[in-house]
Amino acid sequence: MDARKTARDEIDRNESAEIILHIPWDKGNCVLLAASPSGGRFDLSSKSWTGLNPDWQCATGRFAEGWTLEARIPFTELIGPGQVAATPQVEDVWRMQVYRKQSDPREVSQWLPTGSGAALKFSGRKDGPELPTFTAAFSSLSHGPSACNLTCRNTPAGAVARCAVIRAGTPMEQTEKSLPNGEGKAELPYRLIDAGEHRVRTQVITGKQVLFVAEARVSLTPVTESVKSLEKEVTEAKKSVADDRHPEFARIRKEGNSETNPPGLAPGEG
């Protein structure tokens, strides 16, 4: 049997279960993930994301009265170009709705009667010590050197932070730093050099346990194209300045020249 890998864009709509997630890092956008009783998957975004094909897993079970669906959805798979996703922290809020749909006879069931679903608030533990919390900020997602600035709270002893640039599933470079116990900050440098699709991933790990993940999706054009784009913008700006005939423009230009050459000084003597 020959098979080819394609993006998922259709399933048997006779019966399906749908999960709709309103993602906090892209306001107004939601992602739909659906599955059929046989385990066929379907996913789409309410916005036009190029190449959205999240790597999520589902498992279905069938019995006499119906069927069940379990789904595992990595949050870092739900990001578009230039976006950053991270492990939900205490007090973060998502929204979610769940549907079960059947086409013949037509039936629709939903988890909550409101279209926008329910607010899911991440509240941490009911008892015991507070959970560690982390925030990550990527200073730049363009060509050149940059850093991920990590802020930590309630960090357990022995935790380390790692930042890696990943291309085609392979880490290209990685930095690692030990984190202070309790509260603290860490700066993890990285560089984006080559054009193409990249992921920049920061993890906080203690032993074999991953406590936190923040990941950015980056799409870089070749540097030559960026330079050409800048040159075009400069040319258009110069043309706009040359063509501007607003009455105030000449006065502003004259005042600018006066500041460059104060009274009593010839050009070049300032």
Q: Report the CATH number that the domain containing residue 142 is assigned in CATH.
A: 2.60.40.10
Task: Establish if 93 belongs to a structural domain.
Answer: yes
**Which residue has tokens 């309790």?**
182
Cα distances (Å, whole numbers) of residue 127 to 87, 92, 123, 124, 131: 21, 19, 11, 9, 10
Query: Six-digit token pair at 250?
Result: 């000449």
What is the pLDDT of the chain when averaged over all its residues?
Answer: 82
**pTM for the whole thing?**
0.71
Q: Note whether residue 225 is domain-resident.
A: no
Q: In this structure, are 112 and 168 located in the same domain? A: no
Whether residue 49 is found in the same domain as residue 80: yes
Position 91 in a domain:
yes
Dihedral, CA atoms, 77, 78, 82, 88, nearest 10 degrees?
-90
Together in a domain, 46 and 84: yes
φ/ψ (deg, to 5) at 231:
-60, -40
pLDDT at residue 237, as a whole number: 78
262 located within any domain: no
Amino acid 164: pLDDT: 95
Residue 82 pLDDT exceeds 70: yes
Alpha-carbon distance of 249 to 67, in angstroms, equals: 72
Whether 243 is in a domain gets the answer: no
Mean pLDDT of 48-56: 72
Two tokens, residue 208: 């074999």
pLDDT of 1 reads 37
Asked whether residue 221 carries a pLDDT value surpassing 90, the answer given is no
Residue 148 in this model has a pLDDT that exceeds 90: yes
Is 127 part of a structural domain of the chain?
A: no
* Same domain, yes or no: 170 and 209: yes
Q: Which two tokens stand for residue 63?
A: 């019995």
Give every CB contact of residue 34 below 8 A, 6+ residues apart in sequence: 11, 16, 17, 18, 19, 41, 42, 43
Same domain, yes or no, for 39 and 115?
yes
Considering the domain architecture, whether residues 114 and 19 belong to the same structural domain is answered as: yes
- Interatomic CA distance for residues 231 and 42, integer angstroms: 43
Q: What's the pLDDT tens digit per position in 98-145?
A: 999 888 888 888 898 877 788 888 888 888 888 899 999 999 888 889
Tell the residue number behind the tokens 């003597």, with chain if given.
269
Is the same domain home to 79 and 24? yes
Q: Which of 14-23, 87-96, 132-141, 226-235 has the highest mean pLDDT?
A: 132-141
Per-residue tokens: 247: 């009455």
* pLDDT tens sequence across 151-199: 999 999 999 999 999 988 888 888 999 999 999 999 999 999 888 888 9
pLDDT for residue 12: 61
Give the domain range for residue 23.
Answer: 15-121
Does the structure show a pLDDT above 50 at 5?
no
Same domain for 116 and 21: yes
Residue 6 pLDDT > 60, yes or no?
Answer: no
- Tally of structural domains, the chain: 2
Looking at per-residue pLDDT, the higher value among 213 and 10 belongs to: 213
Out of 2-6, 35-39, 156-160, least confident range: 2-6
- The token duo for 30 is 């939601």
